[in-house]
C-alpha cells in the first residue's frame, strides 16, 4: 500500500472536489465553493492551493487573492484553535492586565500576534471588552475571564489544551477518498 503525505492527500481531495463540482457551477460559484472547501480542508488557504486552483479553474491568482483577502472567513495563514484577547484598556491596565499578558507570553512561549508551536493558541491585545468593573479581563474565543490573576493563567490554558485532546479535528486525512487509495 502506498503511503501518502498529508499534504498530498489534501491536494488530491481538493482536485476531486473541483472535478465533481465543475459540471454543476459557473466559474465564479465554483471558485467560491472551492475556496470554502480549501479553508476547511487546510484550516487556511495556502499559497500552493491558490496556484493549484488558479491552474485548475483558469482564474488569475490575483483574482483569487482578491477574494481571499476580501472575505473574513478566509485566511492566508493558519488560524489558532483558540484566540486569546487580553484587554489593554485603562481599567484592565491599572488592575494588572499587563502582568496577565506577560504570564501568557511566558506560558505559551509566544509574543503578541504569534501562534503557539502546537497551533492551538494565538495571542492578541484588544481595547475595552466592556466589563471594566471586573478588570483585568481576557477573552478566549467566546469565553470571557474576569478578575484574572497571573497565577491562574496556567490552569486556564491547561483547560483548553485538554479540550483539544478530546476534540475531533475538523478535517481528518483518513476520511478522504482519494484517487490512489487502495483497500
User: Per rule CB under 6 A, is residue 148 in the interface with ligand FES?
Assistant: no
User: Per rule CB under 6 A, is residue 112 in the interface with ligand FES?
Assistant: no
The partner residues of 126 in beta bridges, in order of sequence, read 87
Contact string 64-93 vs ligand FES (x = CB under 6 A): -----------------------x-xxxx-
Q: Shortest approach of ligand FES to residue 124 CB, angstroms?
A: 14
Q: Which residues fall within 8 angstroms of residue 26, CB to CB, at 6 or more apart?
A: none
Q: Which part of the chain contacts ligand FES (CB under 6 A), choosing from 49-57, 61-69, 124-132, 150-158?
A: 124-132
Nearer to ligand FES, 67 or 128 (CB): 128
Give the sign of the dihedral formed by CA 64, CA 81, CA 110, CA 86.
Answer: positive
User: Per rule CB under 6 A, is residue 144 in the interface with ligand FES?
Assistant: no
Q: Which part of the chain contacts ligand FES (CB under 6 A), choosing from 17-25, 49-57, 128-136, 164-172?
A: 128-136
Nearer to ligand FES, 148 or 157 (CB): 148
User: Per rule CB under 6 A, is residue 135 in the interface with ligand FES?
Assistant: yes
Enumerate binding residues for ligand FES (CB under 6 A): 87, 89-92, 128-132, 135, 137
Amino acid at each position: 500500500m502506498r503511503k501518502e503525505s498529508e499534504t498530498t492527500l489534501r491536494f488530491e481531495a481538493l482536485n476531486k472536489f473541483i472535478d465533481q463540482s465543475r459540471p454543476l457551477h459557473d466559474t465564479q460559484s465554483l471558485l467560491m465553493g472551492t475556496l470554502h472547501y480549501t479553508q476547511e480542508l487546510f484550516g487556511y488557504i495556502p499559497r500552493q492551493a491558490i496556484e493549484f486552483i488558479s491552474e485548475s479553474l483558469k482564474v488569475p491568482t490575483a483574482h483569487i487573492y482578491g477574494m481571499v483577502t476580501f472575505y473574513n472567513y478566509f485566511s492566508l495563514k493558519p488560524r489558532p484553535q483558540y484566540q486569546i484577547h487580553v484587554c489593554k484598556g485603562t481599567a484592565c491596565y491599572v488592575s494588572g492586565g499587563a502582568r496577565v499578558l506577560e504570564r501568557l507570553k511566558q506560558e505559551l512561549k509566544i509574543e503578541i500576534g504569534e501562534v503557539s508551536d502546537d497551533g492551538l493558541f494565538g495571542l492578541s491585545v484588544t481595547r475595552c471588552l466592556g466589563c471594566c468593573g471586573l478588570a483585568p479581563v481576557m477573552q478566549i474565543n467566546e469565553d470571557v475571564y474576569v478578575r484574572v490573576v497571573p497565577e491562574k493563567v496556567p490552569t486556564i490554558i491547561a483547560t483548553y489544551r485538554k479540550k483539544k485532546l478530546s476534540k475531533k479535528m475538523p478535517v481528518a486525512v483518513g476520511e478522504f477518498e482519494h484517487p490512489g487509495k487502495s483497500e
